[in-house]
Amino acid sequence: MPFQVAKSLYVHIPFCDGICPYCDFCKVEKSTHYEQGYLKALLFDIQNLGSRRFDTVYVGGGTPTCLEDDNFLRLLKALSPLLEIGGEFTVEANPESLSEAKIAMMKENGVNRVSIGVESTSRKNLLFLGRKHSFDLVKDRVYALKKAGIDNINLDLMYGLPGEGLDEVKEDIDNLLSLSPTHISTYSLILEKGTDFYARGIKEGEQEEVADQYELINDLLKKSGYHRYEVSNFSLPDKESRHNLVYWENRPYVGLGAGASGYEDGVRYRNTFSIPRFNEGKRKVEEEKVDRDSEASYFLLTGLRLAKGISLKEYRSLFGMDLLSNRKEAIDRHIGLGNIEIKGDRLMVKEERMILLDRVLVDLI
């Protein structure tokens, strides 16, 4: 079976104005002066893509908008021609660095989707999370984007903070809804090694409370017309992130930049986290040749994150085996537990049980 050609491109910008205490992504403080070298290396890789064209381009970070204006512009100008007509071009931003100038550059170079790291709308929690903006600034920037004609906007929200109450989560959601974004991503706080929070011994919210918050978020957003199409992603009809769907539908994508991962020609890879080494030419540090069994696991663990689940026919044609008979015991058990259901050709995790997804996955992969 020939490999599908990757039609999605992820570009990582590992710079931030400040380091958030919970973040374990690949990033450094902007003041470290790696920016010029990094951009040079990255632009080189982009040029190497030659005449390839992509349906989705996603610039993530870090904080892409914290780049110097001229660097930001060079990057967008390099990426813009790679986008197919009608393609989705997303840039991640934080409110402080989403300047009028950058908005204009984005508009000019075909960026049609912006994802803003809001994380919280209360002063208290923003302070705790080490974020330097206010919700007023978020409102202002969303307004500016819309005015500039970029109205496909995602807002990121964190919940599950230690001691956070349901009322606080409700207020956050109400605030986000007041901005009428097309898309909302919600993430519960996860303590990762190597972060400031971890070192300080901060704890995640209690499981019971986080579960209640997860359910509340789903209820509130559903009532307002937002559909949870993936574990932590909500959108208005037809406004799903086309780029993220590539991940969940187990399709190939190119990853450029330090710490970026990609999946092409049956190989999943990840680039070095070290920015100086990236600048010196180091790229892939991990490569996994995905065999058929492994591929089948990926297919399930990505596909079942989606509300629509997976196609049994597709599974059969890809892997030459019937999932229902192959994993009969586990599937029967989870149907019996009310965790999954089969509708026509599709097998999916039930909406109210998405919160237990990993329990299902462990038995199915």
Partner 1 sequence: MSFDKSHIRNFSIIAHIDHGKSTLADRILELTGTVEKRQMKEQLLDSMDLERERGITIKLNAVTVSYKAKDGEEYIYNLIDTPGHVDFSYEVSRSLAACEGALLVVDATQGVQAQTLANVYLAIDNDLEVVPVINKIDLPSAMPEFVKGEIESRIGIDCSSCCEISAKTGMGVEEVLESIVTMIPAPSGDENNPLQALIFDSYYDSYRGVIVNIRVKEGKVKVGDEIRLMQSGKDYLVTEVGIRVPQELKTNELTVGEVGYLAAQIKDIHDVFPGETITLKNNPAKEPLPGYRRINPMVYCGLYPVDSRDYLDLKEALEKLTLNDSSLIFEPETSQALGFGFRCGFLGLLHMDVVQERLEREYNLDLILTAPSVVYKVVKTDKTVIEIENPSKLPDLSSISEIDEPYVAASIMAPKEYVGPIMELCQERRGVYTDLEYFDDTRVIIKYDLPLSEIIYNFFDKLKSYTKGYASLDYEFKEYRKSDLVKMDILLNGEVIDALSSIVYRPNSYKRGLAIVSKLKAVIPKQQFEVPVQAAISGKVIARADIKSVRKDVLAKCYGGDISRKKKLLEKQKEGKKRMKAVGSVEVPQDAFMAILSIGDDDK
Q: State the nearest-atom distance from the C-beta of 143 to partner 1, in Å.
A: 26
Looking at 80-88, 138-146, 174-182, 208-216, which segment touches partner 1 (CB under 8 A)?
208-216
**Would you count residue 153 as binding partner 1 (CB under 8 A)?**
no
- Supply the minimum distance, in Å, between the C-beta of residue 147 and partner 1: 28
CB 210 within 8 A of CB 191: no
Cβ–Cβ under 8 Å, residues 260 and 267: no
Q: 3-class SS at 249? A: coil
Rule CB under 8 A: say whether 144 interacts with partner 1. Answer: no
Two tokens at 167? 């009322």
Residue choice 270, 309, 310, 323 for contact with partner 1 (CB under 8 A)? 270
Task: Pick from 339, 340, 347, 348 the residue near partner 1 by CB under 8 A.
Answer: 339
Q: How far is CA 350 from CA 33, 92, 205, 345, 357, in A?
A: 48, 31, 25, 15, 9
Q: How far apart are CA 157 and CA 159, in angstroms?
A: 7
How far is it, in rounded angstroms, from Cα 138 to Cα 108? 22
Q: Quick check: 253 binds partner 1 (CB under 8 A)?
A: yes
Task: Work out whether 186 is an interface residue with partner 1 (CB under 8 A).
Answer: yes
Tell me: does residue 288 bind partner 1 (CB under 8 A): yes
Cβ neighbours for 316, distance < 8 A, ≥ 6 positions apart: 322, 323
From CA 252, how far away is CA 7, in angstroms rounded? 7
In whole angstroms, the minimum distance from the beta carbon of 329 to partner 1 comes to 9
Cβ-proximal residues to 165 (8 Å cutoff; 6+ apart), any chain = none
x/- track of binding to partner 1 for residues 49-88 (CB under 8 A): -----------x----------------------------
Tell me, what DSSP letter sits at residue 11? Answer: E
Could you tell me if 322 and 314 are in contact, meaning their C-beta atoms sit under 8 angstroms apart?
no
Q: Within positions 188 to 207, which residues make up the interface with partner 1, using CB under 8 A?
A: 188, 190, 207
The binding site for partner 1 (CB under 8 A) comprises: 10, 12, 25, 60, 185-188, 190, 207-208, 210-212, 214, 231-232, 244, 247, 253, 255, 259-263, 268, 270, 286, 288, 294, 297-298, 301-302, 305, 337, 339, 354-359, 361-363, 365
